[in-house]
Structures are given as C-alpha cells and as structure tokens.
C-alpha cells in the first residue's frame, strides 16, 4: 500500500491526469516477458486521439541474445542512476520498439497504486530517446507515423 492509497478518489484522479505526460516514467506488470514481471517504461508520445500512448522500455542491461548486432545495441541509451529518481541502478533505454498502451489502462494502473508513477525524465534524455526512435529501422513506420515520429 502506498501513501496515495489513503487519499480520496478525486485526488488520485487529479494526480493521474497531472502526471500522464511525455517523459513520465511508470512501472507496469507485463505478461510478455519470461517470466512475467514488472518493467519500467517511459511515455514518449501521446496519440492525437488521447486514447493511446507510446512507451519505450528501461532495462537493467542490453539483452545480447535479442540485440545481437551493433545496430541493435546502438538503439539503447545508457543512463546513470545518479540524478534520476526513477532508477535504482544504471540502466538502458531500449529504443528498438514502441510499446503501445491505452490511456485508460495507464490511468487505472496509476489510480490503483500511485507508486507506479516513478518520476519524470529530463528533457536532455527525452530528446536523445526521440532522436533514436526517429532513426530506428526496427520500429514499424506506421507506429512512428501514428505517434508523430
């Protein structure tokens, strides 16, 4: 239970609306990893319809089995945990794919447990992420177009 759980529903809703934005770092439980687990994501774009958003993963390391080429490894930004409250240790921002999620799901996750909101990425890091997304050949063009990249 987090401190936010003790606040009224209206306060939690306001918190969520105020903090779902580009650069927001959140924690989500995902079923597509083996084993399923919590992962950290950065919201990198919000759809024009404000129904969907695009996120990239933050990983503790670059998976060499999946990212076997220099080109794939170059799409990971190393980030030091110092000065980044949303990280507990040095990590990598994975710009090889955009993960699309519904805005309603993110709202539900954050309203049910405000500790899933981890902080906000600084503008310099976010600009690096956006640049890598734009040059990434691994992200489908339709996804880039949908989210303005």
pLDDT at 132 over 60: yes
Residue-wise pLDDT for 76-101, tens only, equals 999 999 999 999 999 999 999 999 99
**Cβ contacts of 125 within 8 Å, gap of 6 or more:** 77, 79, 84, 93
In whole angstroms, what is the distance from residue 14 CA to residue 76 CA?
33
Domain of residue 10: give its range: 3-146
Supply the mean pLDDT for the chain.
92
pLDDT score, position 7: 60
* Listed residue (33, 82, 21) closest to 57, CA to CA: 33
pLDDT at 43 over 60: yes
Number of domains in the chain: 1
pLDDT score, position 86: 96
pTM of the model: 0.88
Mean pLDDT of 7-13: 70
pLDDT at 71 over 60: yes
Banded model confidence at residue 2, pLDDT cuts 50, 70, 90: low
The share of the chain scoring above pLDDT 70, in percent, equals 94
pLDDT at 3 over 70: no
Which stretch, 12-21, 67-76, 96-105, has highest mean pLDDT? Answer: 96-105
Mean pLDDT of 119-135: 98
- End-to-end CA distance of the chain, in Å? 38
Mean pLDDT of 28-51: 94
Contact 3/114 with Cβ under 8 angstroms?
Answer: yes
CATH number, domain at 55? 2.30.30.110
């Amino acid at each position: 239970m987090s401190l936010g759980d003790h606040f009224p529903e209206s306060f939690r809703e306001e918190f969520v609306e105020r903090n779902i934005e580009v650069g927001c770092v959140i924690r989500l439980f995902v079923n597509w990893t083996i084993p399923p687990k919590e992962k950290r994501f950065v919201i990198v774009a919000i759809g024009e319809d404000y129904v969907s958003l695009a996120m990239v993963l933050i990983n503790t390391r670059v998976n060499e089995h999946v990212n076997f080429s220099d080109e794939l490894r170059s799409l990971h930004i190393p980030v030091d945990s110092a000065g980044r409250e949303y990280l507990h240790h040095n990590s990598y921002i994975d710009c090889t794919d955009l993960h699309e999620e519904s805005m309603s799901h993110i709202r539900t996750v954050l309203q049910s447990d405000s500790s899933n909101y981890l902080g906000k990425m600084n503008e310099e890091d976010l600009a690096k992420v956006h640049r890598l997304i734009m040059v990434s050949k691994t992200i489908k063009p339709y996804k880039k177009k949908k989210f303005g990249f």
